[in-house]
Amino acid sequence: MDSALASKLQHYLPLTPEERDVVDSLERRERRFRSGEVVLEEGEATDRLYVVTGGWLHSSARLSSGNRQILRFHFPGDLMGVSSIAWAETAATLTAVSDCMVSDFPRLALARVFKEQPRLAALLYAVSAAENVAMSDRLMSLGRTDGRTRIATLFLDILSRLRITDGQIVDSFELPLTQAEIGDAVGLTKVHVNRTLREMEQAGMIERSGKIVRIVDEASLVEFAGFKDRHYRIATDWFPPAAMAVV
Amino acid sequence: MDSALASKLQHYLPLTPEERDVVDSLERRERRFRSGEVVLEEGEATDRLYVVTGGWLHSSARLSSGNRQILRFHFPGDLMGVSSIAWAETAATLTAVSDCMVSDFPRLALARVFKEQPRLAALLYAVSAAENVAMSDRLMSLGRTDGRTRIATLFLDILSRLRITDGQIVDSFELPLTQAEIGDAVGLTKVHVNRTLREMEQAGMIERSGKIVRIVDEASLVEFAGFKDRHYRIATDWFPPAAMAVV
DNA sequence: CGCCTGTTTGAGAAGACTCAAAACGGGTGG
DNA sequence: CCACCCGTTTTGAGTCTTCTCAAACAGGCG
C-alpha cells in the first residue's frame, strides 16, 4: 500500500495528505519484470515516466562501436526515463537487474503536480539537482581515477542507496551483476574487472562469496575512493509552503 | 537589458510578461569576472544560484590525488551552482574561462517561481532533465571512447552550445582553454591531449590556428563521435498553463 | 631581454585491452 | 543422481593506449 516514490520523498520531507494523494496517483499502473528484461528501449518513442517500486534496474546506452555504458542504477522510489520529460524519444534503455516492479505514468501527470503542489514540484526539482551532482561524481570517477577506485566507488554508492530503503543493510549486499555489467558501469572490460576485484580482495578491501560482497572497512574505503553520499539528505528549507487543502 | 536566462528559456517557450518579470528578477545582481577568476569554491557554504549573463565558465572538482575534473562548461543563460538547491555546501568550483558576467540570486527566490509560475517551474525542471541526459552522454564518452572521440565530442558540444546564443557561428570558434584544461574536461593528460589534437589535425578532422578551432567536416565528425545535441529543443507540451495575470 | 605559461617532442612505464582458453557452477533432462 | 550445457569467472600472453617524467621550444608581457 505504501507508494515507493512517496516513501522516498517522505525521507526528505513529511508530505501533507494532499501531496501524498498526488504522488500516489503516479503509481497506479504497476508491472512486474524478470531479471534481464527490458522495460524500455533507447530510441523508443514514449511520453511516460517510470517509478521503481521494488528491485533494481539500470539505464544504459549503446555506442555505435557496440560498447555499452551503464549510466545509472535505479532503486525503489527512483524516477526513471526522465529524458521523456524533455524529449519524445527515450535516451536510455531500462533493464531489470533483479526481478522488479515498475509503475509508470504519462509526463502530462506532472503538470498537475506543478500546478497544484508547488512544494512537491520543488522537491522533485531538488532531487533532480542532487542526481545531477551524483552524476558529476561518476564523471570524476570515470575520468580521473583508476579501476580499483572506480569499483570501490560503485560499491559504496550501491551500499548507501540500498540503505535508504533497507535499514537492515550493514556492510554487505547482494550484487546481482555480472562482471561484464560491472565493467559497463565503470568503464572497464570484464577481464580487467575480474583482475581488479581479485586485487581488491587480496588487498583486504572487500570479501566476496557468490554474489555477496562485503565491504571490509567502509570508513577507509570511503577515504580511499573519496566517496560522497549525495542521497542521504537534501535541503528543503527554501521550498514554498505546501498547498492548502481545498475544504 | 535582455536577461540571459530569459532569452535561453524563450528559446524553448515564449514567456508571458509575468513569467519574464519573475525570471528577470533573478538577474539583478550582476558581477564581472576576469578569465581564470574563481566565482565560487568547492565546499564553500552558499545558498545562491548563479546565472551566466556573458562569457564562459566551467565547474570542476578536485580529487584528493590533486587531479581535477571539469564537469561542465557554462554558457550564457545557464544556471550554475545547482548543487546549492539541494545542499548548503557547493559541490563544484566555478571558474571563469573567459572574461564573463555572472549574476546570482538566493535559492529562496525559486520558491516564488514554484508557487506563482508553475509553467516556468516545469520548464526549469525540463531543462534540468535535459542536462542530466547531456551529463549521461559525457559519461559514455569518458567511460567508453578513446581520446580522439572524447575531444571530438567536446568540440561538437561546445560548438552547438555556442550556437544557441550566437547564430553567427558556423564551423569555427575560439577555444579559450589550455590543453591541460581540455585534458581535465575529457579525462586525459595534457601531453596526450597535445598528441591527440595533432593527430586529429593530421587526419583532417580539425584545423587550428592560435586559439581558433575549425571543424572541417561537421557531419562526418558528428557521425564519427556519435554526437547528439541535447540542447537545441525540449518538449514543452506537457507543461501546465501559464499563471493568469493578476489584474 | 628575461620570465612565465603553455605547447611540443622524446622515451620508458603502467594500466587497461584483446584474444584465447580453461575452470567453475548452477540448472536441466535423462 | 549423474551428465551435460551454458553462461560466467578465472587465468595467460601479448599489445596498445595513455601516463609520467623530462626537457626543449614558443610567445606574450613587464
CB contact under 8 Å between B126 and A68, yes or no, is no
pLDDT of A37: 93
Look up residue A73 and give its three cell numbers: 542504477
* A12-60 pLDDT tens trace: 999 999 999 999 999 988 999 999 999 999 999 999 999 999 999 999 9
Residue A166 confidence (pLDDT): 77
Q: Is residue B52 classed as helix, strand or coil in its secondary structure?
A: strand
3-class DSSP assignment, residue B167: coil
Which value, in Å, is the radius of gyration of the alpha carbons in chain A?
A: 19
What pLDDT is stored for residue B246 in this prediction? Answer: 60
- Whole-number Å distance between alpha carbons of A157 and B173: 39
Our measurement of CA A194 to C1' C24, in angstroms, reads: 14
State the CB neighbour count (10 A cutoff) for residue B240: 20
pLDDT at residue number B247 = 53
Contact (CB<8Å) B88/A235: yes
Residue A160 to residue A167: CA distance in whole angstroms: 10
What are the beta bridge partners of residue B70? B60
A90-113 pLDDT, tens per residue?
999 999 999 999 999 999 999 999
| Out of A108, A118, A122, closest to residue B238 by CB | A108
Mind listing the pLDDT tens digit for each residue in A190-207? 999 999 999 999 999 999
All cell numbers assigned to B79:
544556471
Give me chain A's average pLDDT, please: 94
Largest CA distance in chain B: 64
> What's the CA gap between A138 and B106, in Å, rounded?
28
Query: In chain A, which residue's Cα lies nearest the Cα of B120?
Result: A114
Identify which of A49, A40, A55, A175 has the alpha carbon closest to the alpha carbon of residue A95. Answer: A40
C-alpha R_g of chain B: 19
CA of A82 to C1' of C3 (A): 53
- Look up the pTM and report it: 0.94
Q: Which residue of A has its CA nearest to B59?
A: A136
What percent of chain B has a predicted confidence (pLDDT) above 70? 98
Q: Count of alpha carbons within 13 Å of B43, Cβ hemisphere only?
A: 4
DSSP-derived 3-state class of residue A117 = coil
Spatial contact of B89 and B44, defined as CB atoms under 8 Å apart: yes
Spell out which residues of B between 156 and 215 contact strand C, using CB within 7 Å. 178-180, 190-191, 194-195, 197-198
Give, in order, the Cα–Cα distances in Å from A107 to each of A2, A189, B122. 22, 37, 11
Q: What is the pLDDT of residue A163?
A: 87
State which H helix or E strand residue B57 sits in.
strand B57-62
User: Which pLDDT does position A164 carry in this prediction?
Assistant: 80
Q: Which residues of chain B have pLDDT under 50?
A: none
Secondary structure class of B36 (helix, strand, coil)? coil
Task: Say yes or no: Cβ of A185 under 7 A from any atom of strand C.
Answer: no
User: Which residue of B144, B190, B232, B236 to mutate against A (max A Cβ within 10 Å)?
Assistant: B144
Report residue B88: phi and psi, to 5°: -80, -20
Query: Which grid cell sits at A115?
Result: 500546478
From B207, B164, B206, select the one nearest B73 (Cα to Cα): B164
**Burial class, A112, CB count within 10 angstroms (exposed 0-12 / middle 13-18 / buried 19+):** middle
